[in-house]
């Protein structure tokens, strides 16, 4: 059974992998094979193999076709991301012990527990951006007691990406909720800060390697079965 679940700070997918285009997430990705090994190609075409692999945020990659894989996306400010951050470097990292990872393991999205986790002020700015619609990043910095320059530096240090990229990811997850609830692609795109449906399409493809038309039936099916946002 193919399904896509969008939760608080994470997403989970199980199903076939098509040979998608190069893309990059504003989240940690854990990809696991149900049997044998999973294969992920980096932007140079190097194949990484393992029972499970960790892909850090903003690393361009693609997955060759496979009958079934399990994939978890974990936002970098979440507690489970702290452990992923500590064990993976700048590249794709084998993690055989994560083959048995369950959704309930990644579901808690509370404050990170490690010393390498985002600082409280950075988390405050992220919360302001998540709640503030089109709030300028400079205003989020002010709300967190930081200068815009310091906020940008903290985001690069702790998240590995600009906050603008993280906010796009958050908008995509909000739009996914709206699609699951029955909104049209055009409505979800405009309500969540995208210029138009084409802009939403481009950002989704860049972040997930998928189009809204591919994602929509998975979200609707998961919502109908009662597992969306579990």
DSSP string, the chain: --EEEE-SSEEEEEEEE-----B--SSEEEEEESSS-EEEEETT--EEEESEEEE-TT--EE---EEEEEEEEE-TTSHHHHHHHHH--SS-EE-GGGGG--HHHH---S---STTSPPHHHHHHHHHHHHSTT--HHHHHHHTT--HHHHHHHHHHHTSS-HHHHHHHHHHHHHHHHHHTT--HHHHHHHTT-SSHHHHHHHHHHHHS--HHHHHHHHHHHHHHT-TT-
User: Does pLDDT of 41 surpass 90?
Assistant: yes
Helix (H) / strand (E) element for 47: namely strand 47-50
CA dist 106 → 12, 71, 82 (Å): 9, 11, 11
Closest CA to 144 of 128, 160, 163: 128
Predicted confidence (pLDDT) per residue in 45-98, tens digit = 999 999 999 999 989 999 998 889 999 999 887 888 888 988 887 899 999 999
Predicted confidence (pLDDT) per residue in 113-171, tens digit = 444 456 888 988 988 887 766 788 999 999 899 999 999 898 888 777 788 888 888 88
pLDDT of residue 92: 96
Over range 185-189, report the average pLDDT: 86
Residue with the bigger pLDDT between 207 and 136: it is 136
Q: What is the pTM of this model?
A: 0.77
Domains and CATH numbers, the chain: 3-106 (2.60.120.10), 120-208 (1.10.10.60)
Separation CA 157–CA 118 (nearest Å): 9
Average pLDDT, the chain: 83
pLDDT of residue 155: 87
pLDDT of residue 22: 87
pLDDT band at 29; cut points 50, 70, 90:
very high
pLDDT of residue 128: 87
Longest dimension (CA), the chain: 50
Tokens 């200068």, residue located: 147
Residue with the bigger pLDDT between 25 and 93: it is 93
């Amino acid at each position: 059974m193919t399904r896509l679940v969008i939760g608080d700070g994470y997403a989970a997918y199980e199903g076939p992998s098509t040979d998608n285009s190069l893309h990059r997430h504003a989240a940690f990705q854990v990809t696991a094979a149900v049997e044998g090994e999973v294969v992920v190609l980096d932007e140079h075409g190097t194949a990484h193999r393992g029972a499970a692999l960790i892909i850090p945020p903003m690393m361009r990659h693609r997955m060759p076709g496979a009958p079934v894989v399990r994939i978890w996306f974990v936002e970098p400010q979440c507690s489970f991301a702290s452990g992923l951050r500590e064990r993976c470097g700048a590249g794709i990292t084998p993690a055989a012990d994560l083959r048995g990872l369950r959704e309930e393991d990644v579901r808690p999205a509370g404050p990170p527990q490690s010393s390498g986790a985002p600082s409280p002020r950075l988390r405050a700015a992220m919360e302001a951006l998540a709640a503030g619609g089109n709030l300028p990043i400079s205003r989020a910095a002010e709300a967190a007691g930081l200068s815009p320059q310091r906020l940008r530096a903290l985001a690069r240090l702790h998240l590995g990406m600009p906050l603008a990229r993280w906010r796009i990811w958050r908008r995509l997850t909000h739009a996914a909720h709206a699609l699951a609830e029955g909104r049209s692609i055009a409505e979800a795109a405009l309500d969540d800060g995208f210029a138009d449906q084409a802009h939403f399409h481009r950002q989704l493809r860049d972040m997930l390697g998928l189009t809204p038309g591919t994602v929509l039936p998975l979200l609707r099916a998961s919502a109908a079965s009662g597992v969306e946002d579990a």
